[in-house]
Chains A and B, each alone.
Chain A
């Protein structure tokens, strides 16, 4: 049985290598294994189908739609302008603005892809014009986009919560402090880097521009207030909040007069296309997960991992290493769906909190978005700037130091994640 599963893994790897779409590369060999295992014909597709039938997953297309509309309706631009007006005098201001607007945008967007696609196109050319090397501008933009999927709302968090059957709200709350620590880590790196760059231009603080930008950012700034306020007051649940966020984007679009039928239709098309690509992987990963469950792989891995050590610290180090390797090779969503059923029962047996485990896992896998060969953020950055992927990665590489440092910090101090949910009574 195990031998056959290894073969499934090898065939999946071969299919991925020759550029078969990830979802189909998962589905084909899994289907073959299921038939060989004696399941009914239709089992593979039915499992994929059922895997998509989960209410919390509905937040995925809705939060993608929010990010897409924020870009198309000029709402992301307003946040950028506000940050720039506020930090004009600071040396390296555009770099801090980059992080600041990523934090602002992260309250609306649940995925790094929407963030880097929207902000990257605008910010990287501006930074290059202001004298920053391309590698630094691209590396920073790619890295700061990772704040989006960590800060709530977060699509990976929604997927983790559904897979691990933990409270989405608790996981959201646990992600807030780590997201700010990520931003702080990037700012620290910028501070060190700009200390040696006296040539970077600054603009004097312009009070009128600041006031104008601040007024312009009031609408976008209300988004997190409405979402978190609505969730905490019991008006709607985190999944439902995604639909309220879409509604609010529509309202802002009408208010700013940037909404028209063409923009709306193109937003729907873009979202449908992105969702279709991601969701097929979600469904296929559900099939892979059920196959692993039926073969009791989680039990076998658990026996192996506990035979190595029964210390939660050693376990978390092993998990981080395994995930960093997997994150370089496989899409983050697929990893969550396939590994959570295997790793989480072991984690809880060792007394590791499932919420904290989720936060560590998400940060870890988001770092994987920056590493080749499978690094969606790298590819998008390359595609919006028209520069080769390896140039982008050369820019990203130094930023892996602060990001991994943050990961180590959160892993070593669970309270950084668990403090806020505890405070909120989750």
Chain B
């Protein structure tokens, strides 16, 4: 669209090419990552009159996660919000960040990103031709099921749907869950008819996809930090002026904290709704035998991962509280 491509000579502030940036995400418009994320980014970047227009495509309009990430690599999508496991098809190591109980909580995750992220994301960039600018919080993954889960033995008794990727299925094994494969499109019906007795997702996603209409027990195991990496195509960055890149990157970093508060507030709101509902059970964080789960997961992953993956996993666990 009439843009000049610069390689090394960054244009001065006066020469910002007119660009329309397509941003994709799996999240529906009702979710914090849209209204406290994509939408904010659009307002802030466009507000600076740098000739950038942000075109938002939430709700998987541009396709499923892994396919959209390939689109970012090809330059057909400029920016996308991606979980680690969808990108592990191109860079397997990023799957390790999704290991169950690798991170204690979102603070631990952000601390790791801020101190180790630079090298890791550089390696990622070399392998994928895409740039991870930062990560936004998505929520702690927890179980919603037909029966309470307090300890690993409770989990083994239920058929639980996990996303059908190697890392998520490894998480199931690590936690001692009986994982069943069901396509997301059929999950609601499958839960309703009892094909599976539970699923795992962040609280906001469980609520948005209405799985809590069927599953009345929420166990706050918080077994995995859910994050969305804000990943930008290098083909897009090549077209942008330095001023445009600076503005975009700063906005993405700035939104991280606000987005997190939004996710926390929305999560608390949903859980409070569950707590106040007589037909539901909420197994609170301190009612879960967290130490048993962590020990089990650690023992599993210490033999599951090999080589550089194992090194990465151990270095993350070494920084745990």
- On whether A and B touch (CB less than 8 Å), the answer reads yes
- CB-CB under 8 A from B75, the residues of chain A are 39-40
A233–B183 touching, CB < 8 Å: no
Q: Are A56 and B188 in contact (CB under 8 A)?
A: no
Complex Cα–Cα for A237 and B188 (A): 10
Q: Report the separation of the CA atoms of residues A55 and B163 in the bound assembly, to the nearest whole angstrom.
A: 13
CB within 8 Å for A290 and B193 given contacts A40-B76, A161-B185, A237-B182? no
Query: Which residues of chain A have C-beta atoms less than 8 A from B76's C-beta?
Result: 39-40, 43
Beta-carbon contact of B22 and A168 below 8 Å: no
Interface-lining segment among B5-13, B62-70, B131-139, B258-266: B62-70
Residue B186, interface by CB 8 Å = yes
Contacting pair B189 A233 (CB below 8 A): no
Q: Give A90 Cβ to nearest chain B Cβ, in Å.
A: 39
Pairwise interchain contact A167-B188, C-beta atoms closer than 8 A: yes
Which of the residues A162, A165, A233, A293 comes within 8 Å of B193, measured between beta carbons? A233
Shortest CB-to-CB span from B57 to chain A, Å, is 7
Task: Render A194-238 as a binary contact track against B, CB cut-off 8 A, 1 for contact.
Answer: 000000000000000000000000000000000000011111111
Most buried by A among B63, B75, B76, B190: B76
Q: Which residues of B contact A426 (CB under 8 A)?
A: 189, 192
Q: Is A351 an interface residue (CB 8 A)?
A: no
A54-B70 in contact given A39-B76, A294-B22 (Cβ < 8 Å): no
Is B70 a contact of A169 with CB atoms below 8 Å?
no
A237 contacts across to B, CB distance below 8 A? 182-183, 186, 189-190, 193, 195
Q: Please, what's the 1-or-0 string for A335-371, where 1 marks a CB less than 8 Å from any CB in chain B?
A: 0000001000000000000000000000000000000
Q: Measured between alpha carbons, how far is A294 from B64 in the docked complex, in Å?
A: 15
Indicate if A425 sits at the interface (CB-CB under 8 A).
yes
For the complex, is A170 an interface residue (Cβ under 8 Å from B)?
A: yes
> Interface size of A by Cβ–Cβ distance < 8 Å?
35
Closest CB of chain B to A293's CB: distance in Å? 5
- Given the complex, which residues of A lie within 8 Å of B192, measured CB to CB? 169, 425-426
Q: Check A239 for interface membership: any CB of B closer than 8 A.
A: yes
| Complex: A53 Cα to B195 Cα, angstroms | 23
Q: Is there an interface contact between B193 and A234, defined as CB atoms closer than 8 Å? A: yes
Chain A 161-178 against B: per-residue CB contact (8 Å), 1 yes, 0 no? 110010111100000000
Most B CB atoms within 10 A — which of A161, A170, A294, A341? A294
With A46-B70, A293-B57, A293-B61: A167-B193 Cβ-Cβ less than 8 Å: no
Q: A327 to nearest B CB, angstroms?
A: 25
Q: How far is the CA of A384 from the CA of B74 in the complex (A)?
A: 48
Which of A50, A162, A233, A236 makes the CB contact (< 8 A) with B63? A50
A233 to B190, CA, bound (A): 10
Contact of B195 with A234 in the complex, beta carbons under 8 Å? yes
Beta-carbon contact of B193 and A294 below 8 Å: no
B92 within 8 A of A: no
Inter-chain contact B183/A56, CB cutoff 8 Å: yes
Contact B186 A55 (CB under 8 A): yes
Considering only residues 243-296 of chain A, those with a C-beta below 8 Å from chain B are 290, 293-294, 296
Q: Which residues of the other chain, A, contact B1 by a CB distance below 8 angstroms?
A: 38
Cβ contacts A to B, 6 pairs, < 8 Å = A43-B71, A46-B70, A50-B63, A170-B189, A234-B194, A237-B186
Q: Which residues from chain A sit less than 8 Å from chain B, CB to CB? A: 38-40, 42-43, 46-47, 50, 53-56, 161-162, 165, 167-170, 231-239, 290, 293-294, 296, 341, 425-426
4 additional A-B residue pairs with CB within 8 Å, beyond A40-B76, A236-B195: A50-B64, A169-B193, A231-B193, A425-B192
